[in-house]
Structure 1
Amino acid sequence: MLAVNEYFDGRVKSIGFQGEDKSASVGVMEPGDYEFGTAEPEVMIVVSGALTVLLPGSDGWQIFKTGSQFDVAGDAKFQVKVDTQTAYLCLYG
C-alpha cells in the first residue's frame, strides 16, 4: 500500500512503500530550509538535485549531489537546505 505524505505546507512530498527488504519513501523537496526527525536509522539517496545537510553531531554542512547518499541515526534530527527542486529515495531501518 502506498502512503502519500506532505510536509512543510506541501513543500516536501513523499510516497512511502515497502521495498524488497526495507520500507522506503521517494519524494521531492522544493527550495527551502527544513528540519527532519528520524524514528529509525535512514539512508537518504539524492536522485536528482542536491541537498546541503547538517548531520547530528557534525560541525559543518555537507553537500550531497545526484547519486550520493548519507546515513542518519535513529531518533535524531538533521537540517537540510535545498536550492533547487531535489528528488530523493529514503530507506528505513
Structure 2
Amino acid sequence: MTERFEGVSIVKKANVYHGGQCTSRTVIFPDGEMKTLGIIHPGTYRFSTEAPEHMQVIAGHARYKLADETEWHEVQAGDSFAVPGNSHFDIEVLDLLDYACSYG
C-alpha cells in the first residue's frame, strides 16, 4: 500500500458514524477515484455498503464478518478485505483502527 497520495483533493467535512466512534475524510484523485481515510475506535459496529468496498488496515487490530458469513476474520496492519456492494459487514475493533477504503 502506498504511504502517500500525491496530487489529490480532500473534502474538509468529516464523515462521522456511530456517534463519533468512526470518522473519515474523503480523498479525491485527479482521475475522479475516491477513497476515504479514517479511524475507528474500539467497539463493535455494523456498516452498510452501496458500492463494493476494499478496506486496507493501516494500523490497529480488528475482526470482521461479512453479511453472508458466520465466522469472524482477524485483520491487522497490512491486511485488507473486500465487502460486496449493497450489503453490510460487522466489525469488532480491538485496537484503534486506522484504515483506507477504496470503492467500486
Q: What amino acid is the match of 1:9?
A: G
Q: Distance in 1 between matches of 2:29 and 2:88?
A: 24
Residue identity in the other structure for 2:96:
Q
For 2:41, which of 19, 27, 30 is the aligned residue? 30
* Partner residue of 1:80 out of 91, 96, 104: 91
Stretches of structure 2 that go unaligned for 5 or more consecutive residues are 1-9
Q: Following TM superposition, where does structure 1 have runs of at least 4 consecutive aligned residues deviating by more than 4 angstroms? A: none
Structure number with higher relative contact order (C-alpha < 8 Å, ≥ 6 residues apart): 1
Taking a change above 3 Å as real, the CA distance of residues 88 and 20 of structure 1, as seen in their structure-2 partners, is: farther
SS in 2 for 1:74: coil
Among the aligned pairs, what percent are the same residue? Answer: 30
Q: Under a length normalisation based on structure 2, what TM-score does the superposition of the two structures give?
A: 0.83
Query: Equivalent residue of 1:59, what SS?
Result: coil
When Rg is computed on C-alpha atoms for both structures, the one with the higher figure is 2
1:17-65: per-residue Cα shift (whole Å, max 9, x none)?
A: 2135521100000011100000100100000011200112112000011
Q: Equivalent of 1:45, from 47, 56, 81?
A: 56
Please say which of residues 34-43 and 53-62 is displaced more in the overlay: 53-62
